[in-house]
Amino acid sequence: MKNQIAAVGAAVIMCTLPHCVRAADAVDIYVNGRIIDKQGYIDDGTTYVPIRAVSESLGAAVDWDGKSVSVTMSEDDTVSNLIESASESVVAIVGNYKGGRGQAAEYNELTAHGTGVVIKSNGLILTNAHVVADIENITVVFNDGTSCAAAVKYIDTESDLAAIQIDRLGLKPMRIAPDTSDLKVGRTVIAIGTPVSLAMRNSASKGIISGLNVAVSSSAYPLIQTDAAINPGNSGGPLLDLQGRLIGINSSKFAGVGIEGMAFSIPAETINYALSQFEKNGRVLRPDVKAAFDESWEARIGLPTSKGITVRTSSSPELKAGDMVTAVNGNAVHSISDYNRAVRDTFTDTLNMTVVRNGETITLNVSYELK
């Protein structure tokens, strides 16, 4: 299906009169992270860009009949250009299982591989913790076939995120979305990775967002659910929206007889949280309140519930066994995933919890230890 724009406002048409352009106001234009050979300019607080150059860099056809501009672009054009641009920032990651042949024999392979995403031009690459936790002699393979040795710089098993470092500069980092608040179920997404074999590195698949803030028992945080094809080796690769933004890191899937198209990605909120903690502390520091929690049976099977999480055991001065925590720093909590998300999004130096104790609702400032 094609979309056509027949009327274009002045804000996107390049003024060609000599007196309009001032060199000091010239601006570079990046399309999907790549600079184009034309410049725009700023005039009186408004940014003007050359519509033909921008549109054609996206693969669109542009026509001018003297009265109006017509930009025609199919979804195929958008997707293929996006994949081509993003592939420069996607790598395969391969290594030997730690412990040599003894451990490798359990997997019937001597090596393991996954996928990574360049996030800094200085060689910092994001992937899943489970991709690199059990391997050594790590090698990164780029889309053009070149390779570099890598070492794990940061790792956090709870979020299942890690960053590895290579000795290479001038890489093209992928743009990370600030969050997923503007995403909707049904939006088109693209997954890129290295499924099954290194010969298939930078394979792409297309799907939709099937669910947002999905709780999965194997994950501490809510995930994005997608039906884009994600297979062994895709772990650590990007889930992209049609703006070319990294909205998730592909991490897991449900597999089994009768199960199809149920894959999961770590969302941008958790990615940005982990990266900020890596840069600030060298690891992710979380508040330990010295208590263990249980979910309600409704939360365990995925039913909506107004119940909170119950304190199973506690050595906390404030929390007691049997307390039901219903909110953390003002955020409602109905599951362990909700609790972790509330801590992720709101914790600075205070943990204020709303608790139901013996039928009475009370508010507690809960002490903690950073771990």
Clarify whether 219 is annotated catalytic: no
Is 63 assigned a catalytic role? no
Q: Give the integer Cα–Cα distance in Å for 310 and 339.
A: 11
Choose the catalytic residue: 55, 130, 241, 337.
130
Point out the catalytic residue in the list 210, 235, 316, 337. Answer: 235
pLDDT in tens, the chain (371 residues): 333 333 333 233 333 333 444 444 788 888 766 788 888 888 877 888 887 777 777 666 677 777 787 776 667 778 888 999 999 999 999 999 887 654 444 555 678 899 999 999 999 999 999 999 999 999 999 999 999 999 999 999 999 999 999 999 999 999 999 999 999 999 999 999 999 888 888 999 999 999 999 998 889 999 999 999 999 899 999 999 998 999 999 999 887 777 788 899 999 999 999 999 999 999 999 999 999 999 999 999 989 999 999 999 999 999 999 999 999 999 999 999 999 999 999 999 999 999 999 999 999 999 999 99
Instruction: Look at residue 73 in the predicted model and tell me its pLDDT.
Output: 62
160 catalytic? Reply is yes
Query: Which amino acid appears at position 173 of this protein?
Result: P
State the pLDDT at residue 8.
32
**Domain 287-370 top-level CATH class:** mainly beta
Contact indicator for 294, 312 with CB cutoff of 8 Å:
yes
Which H or E run contains 75? helix 75-86
- Angstrom distance (rounded) from CA 345 to CA 169: 33
Query: How far are the Cα atoms of 224, 259, 326, 352 from residue 234, in angstroms, in the given order?
Result: 15, 18, 37, 39
Buried b (16+ CB within 10 A) or exposed e, 207-234: bebbebebbbeebbbbbbbbbbbbbebb
Q: Find the catalytic residue in 156, 160, 323, 338.
A: 160
pLDDT the model gives residue 106? 52
CB 48 within 8 A of CB 12: yes
Report the pLDDT value the prediction gives residue 100, as an integer from 0 to 100.
Answer: 60
The CA distances from residue 220 to 74, 191, 217, in Å, are: 39, 22, 8
Say if 188-281 and 287-370 have the same CATH topology.
Answer: no
CB atoms within 10 A of CB 158: 14
CATH superfamily, region 85-166: Trypsin-like serine proteases (2.40.10.10)
Class at the top of the CATH hierarchy for domain 188-281: mainly beta
Report the alpha-carbon distance of residue 31 to residue 15 in Å, rounded.
Answer: 20
Work out the angle at residue 368's Cα, subtended by the Cα atoms of residues 365 and 370, and round it to the nearest 5 degrees.
140
Q: Where are the domains of the chain?
A: 2-57, 85-166, 188-281, 287-370
